[in-house]
Amino acid sequence: MIPQRTLEHPIRCSGIGLHSGRKVELVLRSAPEDSGIVFHRKFTGKTIKIPARAEYVVDTRMCTTLGKGEARIATVEHLLSAMAGLGIDNAIVEVNGPEVPIMDGSSAPFVFLIQCAGIRIQNRAKKVMRILKKVSMKDGDKSCSIYPAAGFKVSYLLDYEHPLLRSRKVSVDFSTQAYTREVSRARTFGFLHEIEALQKAGLALGGSLENAIVMDAFRVINEGGFRYEDECVRHKILDTLGDLALAGYPIIGAFEGMRTGHEMNHRLVKALLADTSAWRIEELEHSEVAGEMSATPEPQTA
């Protein structure tokens, strides 16, 4: 049996929201078996519980936003990606603002927080969603699909009209490649000419060279350049893991995306969930997602 996992100790951090520009405090806590990832949004003197499930997605412009009633939590994808990448099944995420802090624009700070908190093995088997048939989504030159495969694989083609971003494709097989090494350090990115328009629309108010890759027409403005040669497409894979996590279970199957983003990823997850013949929920009896996602962690000290 491959067991479920939660956090050993509570851990907190604070940071700026990428789109809101507001300071936000975040606390990660352990949660019981079979409870999943649940956000606790402090809102108007109350705590609103919002499960990390596709049915609670209320906006996909520039990020993935969850909501219940008037309560909103934006930019959840990087934290959910880190949780998925380290195989965390159950956790409580307390947030006192409208957005998860952007940190450095990647999921590496959240990976660090989870590792500092420690990972606790639980007493029930990890449940996974095994893909049984292909489900696809297409919109013009954008497309994505998910289909049966052993383990968990993600491939993405990035193709922007920019000399650094034309026809860049990366594939990661998480049964043999490590999330922390291959994906977690990839930062969100944008273009200098778009920043003013985004800020007029009330987005990217907290964006800076400290939490995003910024490019002009020819080059990366950030000192030090890219962390990976193909950092932007790896960030798309990072985002994809966060968006797929909203299916509610780790996925056994393969994802392929071409020029897609949060909106199409969400549509694909909704279409997948609606077609109950395309998947089944089962207990994971042996590791098909090796390494960080399912291996027994090293003992942690308090």
User: What DSSP string describes 283-299?
Assistant: E--S-SS-GGGTSPPPP
As a whole number of angstroms, the distance between CA 41 and CA 46 comes to 8
Residue pointed to by tokens 């479920």: 4
Q: Of the residues 40, 262, 266, 286, which is catalytic?
A: 262
CATH class of 3-127: alpha beta
Say whether 82 sits in a helix, a strand or coil: helix
pLDDT at 301 over 50: no
Confidence of residue 81 (pLDDT cuts 50, 70, 90): very high
| Close Cβ partners of 205 (under 8 Å, ≥ 6 residues apart) | 17, 19, 20, 21, 199
pLDDT at 122 over 60: yes
- Kindly state the average pLDDT of the residues 223-229: 93
pLDDT at 302 over 50: no
Of residues 144 and 160, more confidence is placed in 144
Phi-psi sector, 129: left (phi>0), alpha (psi -120 to 50), beta: beta
pLDDT of residue 294: 57
pLDDT at 297 over 60: no
pLDDT of residue 299: 39
- Kindly state the average pLDDT of the residues 284-295: 66
Report, at the CATH architecture level, how domain 128-283 is classified: 2-Layer Sandwich (3.30)
Say whether 17 sits in a helix, a strand or coil: coil
Task: Transcribe 188-244 into DSSP letters.
Answer: PEEEHHHHHHHHHTT--TT--TTTSEEE-SSSB-STT--SSTTHHHHHHHHHHHHHH
As a whole number of angstroms, the distance between CA 115 and CA 109 comes to 10
pLDDT of residue 185: 98
- Kindly state the average pLDDT of the residues 39-56: 95
Work out the mean pLDDT of the chain and round it to a whole number: 92
Model pLDDT for residues 173-203, shown as the tens digit of each residue: 998 899 999 999 999 998 888 877 777 777 7
Domain boundaries, the chain: 3-127, 128-283
286 given a catalytic annotation: no
As a whole number of angstroms, the distance between CA 4 and CA 84 comes to 12
Distance of CA 283 to the CA centre of its chain: 23
